């Protein structure tokens, strides 16, 4: 089939292009620019990651829909919502890596993103694409989850769905590599700042918090909020979400492990490591989410460690997984099955 990418020059878009170019069911990839794009070419002004220099075509919804079977949007938050109405109105398949359609409530979007939201009539036609827990009535517009949200929700899902969590006890300490901030230059992403450093930012203000809460409340409506911190660490790719919570009652270690096995034993991209706590390097370059748990009966505290590659399972990899799910393809098609090591 033929696919389109809007915004291929960012980190997520570049990784997405690389995955789709090796996908057995993708015949061609057309690239489009939301700022015109006429005359520009893929990788003309960058270190070439691939041996191709494809033209970036001007954004034209009618042209895109006539020449492609699906559109991937890898644009920044605040851009996609202004461009995709023709696709939604035409019921054309879209997988959106931005945050513009993840939140159902436009007022919540405005509060957390400090931007005007898409119209409610469009938001209602989107589906939240957490691939291990797809919505029952998936629409043709799929909002790919955020990276912090993916790692955190996959870590919490089994216990939340089984109502095993004290609703007021969840604390999340999440850490991300520098590529999560995107390609745009900033003081905090410069080598001199982040090398041999760790920077806690957006304390309880990160825009992925409301999408985490939106999904958590679907699983357990009694959860009112979470304590959530985000820290930038000096690695290129990767997220580690360390989650602390109190169970609703005393469980045995085996009961806790059983809840995770129940939900993930048949999930091709979640590797549940039981009481082994995984490291970021174990998933780098892959679409895996590795999860481990530890139960301290003395404090009655469960610690969950969930690690992903933010550009793969946290962005482009999950987008391809959603693509496979949408078209009923083999779930692992086009996705690497081994992490990069060392």
- Positions marked catalytic: 147
Residue 315 CB partners (closer than 8 Å, separation 6+): 11, 12, 15, 16, 74, 97, 144, 147
Element (H, E) at 210: helix 209-219
- R_g (Cα) of the chain, nearest Å: 20
Which residue has 């957390």 as its token pair? 112
Closest CA to 8 of 93, 85, 27, 44: 44
For residues 281 and 209, the answer to whether their CB atoms sit within 8 Å is: no
What is the full DSSP assignment across 182-195? -SS--GGGSHHHHT
Backbone angles phi, psi at 268, to 5 degrees: -65, -20
Nearest to 132 by CA among 206, 242, 215: 215
- Half-sphere exposure of residue 84, counting CA atoms within 13 Å on the CB side? 36
Integer angstrom CA distances of residue 148 from 2, 63, 144, 206: 30, 34, 12, 9
Token readout for 219 is: 């699983």
Tokens in use for 220? 């357990």
Strand order of the β-sheet with 141-143 is: 56-58, 28-33, 2-6, 70-73, 94-96, 141-143, 126-128
Task: Supply the DSSP symbol for 216.
Answer: H
User: Which residues lie closer than 8 Å to 77 by C-beta, 6 or more apart?
Assistant: 98, 99, 100, 113, 115, 207
């Amino acid at each position: 089939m033929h696919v389109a990418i809007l915004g291929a020059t960012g980190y997520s878009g570049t990784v997405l292009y690389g995955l789709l170019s090796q996908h057995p069911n993708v015949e061609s990839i057309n690239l489009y620019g939301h700022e015109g794009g006429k005359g520009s070419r893929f990788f003309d002004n960058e270190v070439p990651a691939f041996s191709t220099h494809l033209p970036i075509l001007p954004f034209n919804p009618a042209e895109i829909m006539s020449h492609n079977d699906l559109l991937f949007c890898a644009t920044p938050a605040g851009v996609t919502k202004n461009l995709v109405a023709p696709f939604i109105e035409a019921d054309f398949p879209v997988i959106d890596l931005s945050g513009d359609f993840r939140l159902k409530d436009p007022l919540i979007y405005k509060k957390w993103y400090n931007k005007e939201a898409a119209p409610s009539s469009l938001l209602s036609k989107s589906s939240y694409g957490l691939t291990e827990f797809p919505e029952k009535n998936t629409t043709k517009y799929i909002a790919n989850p955020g990276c912090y949200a993916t790692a955190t929700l996959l870590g919490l899902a089994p216990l939340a769905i089984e109502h095993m969590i004290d609703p007021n006890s969840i604390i999340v300490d999440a850490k991300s590599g520098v590529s999560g901030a995107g390609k745009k230059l900033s003081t905090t992403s410069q080598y001199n700042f982040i090398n041999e450093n760790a920077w806690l930012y957006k304390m309880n203000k990160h825009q992925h918090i409301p999408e985490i809460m939106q999904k958590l409340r679907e699983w357990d409506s009694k959860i009112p909020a979470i304590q959530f911190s985000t820290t930038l660490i000096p690695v290129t790719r990767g997220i580690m979400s360390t989650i602390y919570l109190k169970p609703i009652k005393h469980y045995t270690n085996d009961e806790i492990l059983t809840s995770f096995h129940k939900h993930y034993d048949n999930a091709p991209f979640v590797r549940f490591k039981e009481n082994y706590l995984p490291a970021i390097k174990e998933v780098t370059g892959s679409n895996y989410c590795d999860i481990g748990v530890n139960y301290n009966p003395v404090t009655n505290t469960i610690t969950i460690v969930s690690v992903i590659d933010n550009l793969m399972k946290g962005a482009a990899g999950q987008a391809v997984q959603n693509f496979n799910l949408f078209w009923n393809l083999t779930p692992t098609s086009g996705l690497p099955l081994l992490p990069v090591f060392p």
